[in-house]
């Protein structure tokens, strides 16, 4: 049997069968990982051992930790987990909190102790927490004191959850201060699970994506080493929750990998984020397309001259948003598509290789193709589904849906694209969201792109609704900018605008006005909710 440090083998036993796994490829020198690897040792102990101990690591509201401070806190917390809470390697630990230094310390402490992190976001309620606890057989939880209520409700129905500790209150600080500041990381195998990231999609039971210690490092090598290229003096900031792998990479793993600093603040709405960029002199920002869109209108009021690089992911980045942000800041956005199943970004473009309208190309380490429903590659220029493989990939925890995400060793992400002759990939939409109207294929994001250029439009979402004559008709939900009113005239103006700028069959036959669009905590438009309206 292969080496493992896990004493509790639940996750290993619930991995997909070998024949259902995607193929993993490690083509470059940086992706040759040793057999034993602990993500927290690599991202935290190594920098300290190599002299970065006094450098700034984590910045929060009223907190400034160096790498050595962070290591002390993580080590003490690892002692609490193993000694006071009986954690053994392989146990699942639910982490519940907003993006704060202590929440980040929780991730690293669990990894050091050999546990498997199940991240959860502050807005989740007892219903979702219960699902996570049951599916991942969670035994331990670290929860921000102010967020205990929903966890207690869930716990009442989950006997498997035996140890819960609240952090962010004085009892926690006292308990920690009694622990030694050294802790030797558990000697985990590179292939021991490190996290289970739940993704709910739009409907149904959440799917738990298992990622190994190796995967945590692989995302750093690919996204940072080959694409973003951060440096030790960088200061990262942004909005995605650490429980969303976009945030886990961008706001915790990447900064540590680069020996840079990360600013972790909660409730960063776009106006608060842009103010924080100024205040903390941040240099690298991670947020969603709507974040950049909203901030571009505010940029002139702040001194954000420290900013060097901006990463957008989670949803399609409209050209209009890219243009507005560039006009406001001079920065060409790094757009990348990633996913919970793949852990982070695998197709992307940077300022130097951006091609108008294209999402980008496969990052080094990944390869792929656009295929039809029978997994046959489609010709250049034709729309199909993306199939991708690389150093990371989909491993659902005990879930039948593995069979549809992974086919013939390829990860099928569910997104429709076409590719040009130079390997640039153009994103259309989720395959399920493609609109078929009178025989034409239209994607919601391409109509949104056009509408966003209209001066009255702040935000919009475009979907197909059933129609007896046309199969589906295009329906736009529009949030207007302050000072504009929705009415017959506005509807006509928007429709004419689309007809003028795009093929006329793409214009929205139905237009509705909303105060705000329904979004997930990760910033994604909830198209299914628009369909129900
Ligand atoms: C969509 C995009 C167009 C796309 C994620 C970066 O979003 C992340 O993970 P999820 O599992 O969703 C994945 C799906 O979201 N998407 C993401 N980025 C883009 N569409 N342009 C983009 N740039 O449908 C994808 O399949 O929530 C993103 C890193 C880690 C992540 N988990």
In a 13 Å sphere around the CA of 528, the CA atoms on its Cβ side amount to: 8
Residues 247-283: b if buried by 16+ CB within 10 A, e if exposed = bbbbbbbbbbbbbbbbbbbbebebeebbbbbbebebb
Centre of ligand 1 from the C-alpha of residue 313, in Å: 6
DSSP H/E element including 46: helix 46-47
Question: Measured in angstroms, how far is the CA atom of residue 223 from the centroid of ligand 1?
Answer: 14
Cα–ligand 1 centroid distance for 418 (angstroms) = 17
- H helix and E strand count, the chain: 18, 25
pLDDT of residue 530: 94
Element holding 277 (H helix, E strand): helix 270-280
Tell me the average pLDDT across 239-268: 97
Ligand 1 atom at minimal distance to the Cα of residue 430 = 24
Residues with CB under 6 A from ligand 1: 199, 245-246, 313-317, 335-340, 344-345, 359, 413-415, 427, 430, 522
d(CA 459, CA 68): 44
Of 337, 361, 363, the one to substitute when testing ligand 1's pocket (max ligand atoms within 8 A of C-beta) is 337
Nearest CA to ligand 1 atom 13: 339
Residue 68 Cα, ligand 1 centroid: separation in angstroms?
34
Q: Whose CA is nearest to atom 28 of ligand 1?
A: 338
- What is the C-alpha to C-alpha distance for residues 426 and 383, in angstroms, rounded to an integer? 9
**How many Cα atoms are found within 13 Å in the side-chain-facing hemisphere of 512?**
15
Ligand 1 centroid to 404 CA: how many Å? Answer: 18
Smallest CA separation from ligand 1 atom 10, residue: 339
Q: In the prediction, which pLDDT does 522 show?
A: 82
Q: What is the pLDDT of residue 1?
A: 77
Relative to the CA of 341, which ligand 1 atom is closest? 11
Rounded to whole angstroms, what are the CA distances from 373 to 367, 370, 386, 412, 414? 19, 10, 11, 11, 11
Task: Work out the number of other CB atoms within 10 angstroms of the CB of residue 46.
Answer: 15
Distance (Å, rounded) from C-alpha 509 to C-alpha 99? Answer: 42
**pLDDT the model gives residue 146:** 96
Mean pLDDT across 391-411: 97
- With the most atoms of ligand 1 within 8 angstroms of its CB, the residue from 223, 246, 254, 314 to mutate is 314
For residues 253 and 43, the answer to whether their CB atoms sit within 8 Å is yes
- pLDDT tens string 433-459: 999 998 888 999 999 999 999 999 999
SS3 of 317-331 = CCHHHHHHHHHHHCC
Positive or negative torsion for Cα 148, 152, 153, 159? positive
With tokens 């399609």, the residue in question is: 316
* Phi, psi (degrees; rounded to nearest 5) at 370: -105, 125
199 Cα: distance to centroid of ligand 1 (angstroms): 11
- Nearest ligand 1 atom to the CA of 244 is 32
pLDDT of 205: 86
pLDDT at 103 over 90: yes
Nearest-10 crossing angle of helices 319-329, 289-296 = 50
Report the predicted TM-score, pTM, of the whole model to 2 decimal places: 0.96
Q: Which atom of ligand 1 is nearest to the CA of 429?
A: 24
Per-residue confidence (pLDDT) for residue 204, from 0 to 100: 72
306 alpha carbon – ligand 1 mean position (Å): 27
Q: What is the pLDDT of residues 494-508, one digit of tens each?
A: 999 999 999 999 999
Residue nearest to atom 8 of ligand 1 (CA): 339
Mutate to test the pocket of ligand 1, among 227, 338, 386, 527 (most ligand atoms within 8 A of CB): 338
Question: What separation in angstroms does the CA of 492 have from each of 333, 420, 444, 519?
Answer: 33, 35, 19, 27
Q: Residue 356: is its pLDDT beyond 60?
A: yes
Give the pLDDT score at 202. Answer: 57
Work out the burial of residue 28: count CB atoms within 10 Å of its CB; fewer than 13 is exposed, 13-18 middle, 19 or more buried: middle
CA of 286 to the centre of ligand 1 (A): 13
pLDDT in tens, 287-321: 999 999 999 999 999 999 999 999 999 999 999 99
Nearest-angstrom CA–CA distance, 134 and 205: 12
Percent of the chain with pLDDT over 90: 95
Please identify, by atom number, the ligand 1 atom nearest to the C-alpha of residue 336: 23
pLDDT at 160 over 80: yes
Residue whose token pair is 């603040």: 265
What's the token pair of residue 314? 């989670």
pLDDT of residue 439: 87
Find out if CATH 3.30.300.30 is the number for domain 442-532.
yes
CA of 493 to the centre of ligand 1 (A): 32
What's the CA-to-centroid distance between 315 and ligand 1, angstroms? 6
Model pLDDT, residue 443? 92
How confident is residue 203, by pLDDT bands cut at 50, 70 and 90?
A: low
336 CA distance to ligand 1 middle (Å) = 8
The structure tokens 């195998």 sit at 189
C-beta separation of 298 from 274 below 8 A: yes
Residue 525 has φ and ψ, to the nearest 5°, of -65, 135
Query: How would residue 400 be classed by pLDDT, with cut points 50, 70 and 90?
Result: very high
d(CA 355, CA 412): 24
Rounded mean pLDDT of the chain? Answer: 96
- Tell the residue nearest (CA) to atom 17 of ligand 1: 314
Q: Three-state DSSP class for 207?
A: strand
Give the pLDDT band of residue 523 (cuts 50, 70, 90): confident
Query: What integer pLDDT is reported at residue 139 of this predicted model?
Result: 98
């Amino acid at each position: 049997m292969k080496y493992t440090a896990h004493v509790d083998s639940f996750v290993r036993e619930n991995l997909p069968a070998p024949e259902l796994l995607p193929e993993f490829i490690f083509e470059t020198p940086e992706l040759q990982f040793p057999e034993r690897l602990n993500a927290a040792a690599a991202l935290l102990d190594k920098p300290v051992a190599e002299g970065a101990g006094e450098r700034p690591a984590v910045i929060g509201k009223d907190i400034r930790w160096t790498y050595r401070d962070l290591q002390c806190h993580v080590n003490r917390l690892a002692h609490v987990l193993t000694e006071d809470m009986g954690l053994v390697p392989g146990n699942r630990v639910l982490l519940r909190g907003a993006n704060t230094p202590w929440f980040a310390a929780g991730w690293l402490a669990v990894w050091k102790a050999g546990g498997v992190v199940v991240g959860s976001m502050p807005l989740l309620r007892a219903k979702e927490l219960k699902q996570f606890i049951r599916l991942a057989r969670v035994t331990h939880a670290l929860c921000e004191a102010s967020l205990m209520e929903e966890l207690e409700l869930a716990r009442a129905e989950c006997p498997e959850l035996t140890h819960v500790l609240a952090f962010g209150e004085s009892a926690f600080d006292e308990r920690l201060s009694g622990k030694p500041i050294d802790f030797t990381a558990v000697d985990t195998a590179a292939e021991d699970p490190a996290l289970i990231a739940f993704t709910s999609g739009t409907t149904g039971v959440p799917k738990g994506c298992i990622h190994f210690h190796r995967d945590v490092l692989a995302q750093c090598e690919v996204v940072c080493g080959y694409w973003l290229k951060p440096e030790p003096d960088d200061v990262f900031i942004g909005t995605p929750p650490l429980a969303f792998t976009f945030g886990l990479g961008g706001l915790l793993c990447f900064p540590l990998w680069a020996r840079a600093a990360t600013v972790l603040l909660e409730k960063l709405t776009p106006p608060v984020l842009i103010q924080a960029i100024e205040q903390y002199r941040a240099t690298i920002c991670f947020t969603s397309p709507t974040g950049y869109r909203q901030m571009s209108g505010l940029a002139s009021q702040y001194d954000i001259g420290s900013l060097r690089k901006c990463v957008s992911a989670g949803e399609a980045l409209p050209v209009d948003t890219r243009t507005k942000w560039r006009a406001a800041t001079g920065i060409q956005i790094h757009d990348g598509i990633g996913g919970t199943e793949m852990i982070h970004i695998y197709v992307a473009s940077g300022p130097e290789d951006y091609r108008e309208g294209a999402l980008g190309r496969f990052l080094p380490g990944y390869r792929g193709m656009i295929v039809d429903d029978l997994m046959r590659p489609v010709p250049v220029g034709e729309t199909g589904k993306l199939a991708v493989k690389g150093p990371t990939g989909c491993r659902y925890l005990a879930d039948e849906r593995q069979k549809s995400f992974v086919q013939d060793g390829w990860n099928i992400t569910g997104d429709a694209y076409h590719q040009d002759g130079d390997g640039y990939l153009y994103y259309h939409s989720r395959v399920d969201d493609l609109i078929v109207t009178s025989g034409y294929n239209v994607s919601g994001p391409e109509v949104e792109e056009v509408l966003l250029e209209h001066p009255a439009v702040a935000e919009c979402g475009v979907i197909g609704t059933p129609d007896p004559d046309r199969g589906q008709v295009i329906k736009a939900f529009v949030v207007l900018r302050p000072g504009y009113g929705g009415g017959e005239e506005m509807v006509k103006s928007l429709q004419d605008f689309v007809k003028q700028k795009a093929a006329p069959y793409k214009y929205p036959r139905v237009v509705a006005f909303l105060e705000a669009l329904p979004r997930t905590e990760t910033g994604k438009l909830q198209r299914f909710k628009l369909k129900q309206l």
